[in-house]
Chain A
């Protein structure tokens, strides 16, 4: 079973709102990822967690705040977003600590619209 779940599927928020995206996997994977994908573009890596520790932050603005409460859960807290942050947010997980041979398995994504 290679399932990564994400909630909510769709989210509309104002620029002053605070919201959170949630990602869950029960495959025993030890690396989890957040990606942002704009229309007609490939996914762009935002954050990587390995063994519940943040290992990569791709210079993402502080209005995006990741959290990994345990090995199965990954959250992305959103605050004071801009309209240009509207995108599909994808979560992924991979078996080990994100090594070269790891295959990343993606969730269905959250379509975020910032008004």
Chain B
């Protein structure tokens, strides 16, 4: 069975702190893709990153970085020097071969306080 676990339901930090959102996935497939989406209060899911199972290189995009470790089945997301605009619900998701659907985690609600 495929499953994505985001154990942190809510995180609250003060602006400019670094924060890491955890994502652990389960799948028996060797080929799969992992995604992160951001959902601000307006409701739209905004695509952040896609990573395939054969590429374990970490990625950095501005203040955002992602750490993919197959050994621990984790795909964690770090925001450096957080800002109030980063406040949102963040979803990690898994896509597997043969399926046309995403398996979402339960989401982590991140609040950045000024």
Contacts and interface: CB of A to CB of B under 8 A. Distances in A.
Q: Which 10 A-B pairs have the closest CB atoms?
A: A98-B100, A42-B104, A106-B45, A108-B44, A109-B43, A45-B101, A100-B97, A48-B100, A100-B95, A103-B50
A107 B98 CA distance: 24
B108 to A, nearest CB: 11
A16 interface: no
A81 interface: no
B58 interface: no
A109 B100 contact: no
A21 interface: no
Contact of B45 (A43, A45, A97): A43
Given A42-B105, A43-B104, A100 B43 contact: no
A42 to B, nearest CB: 4
Interface in B41-94: 42-47, 50, 52, 91
Contacts of B107: 40-42
A30 to B, nearest CB: 12
Contact of A101 (B33, B44, B46): B33
Secondary structure of the A contact surface, majority rule: loop
Contacts of B35: 103
Interface of B: 31-33, 35, 37, 42-47, 50, 52, 91, 95-102, 104-107
A100 B101 contact: no
Nearest to B101: A45
A31 B107 CA distance: 25
A55 interface: yes
A102 interface: yes
A102 to B, nearest CB: 7
A74 interface: no
Contacts of B101: 45, 48, 56, 98
A23 interface: no
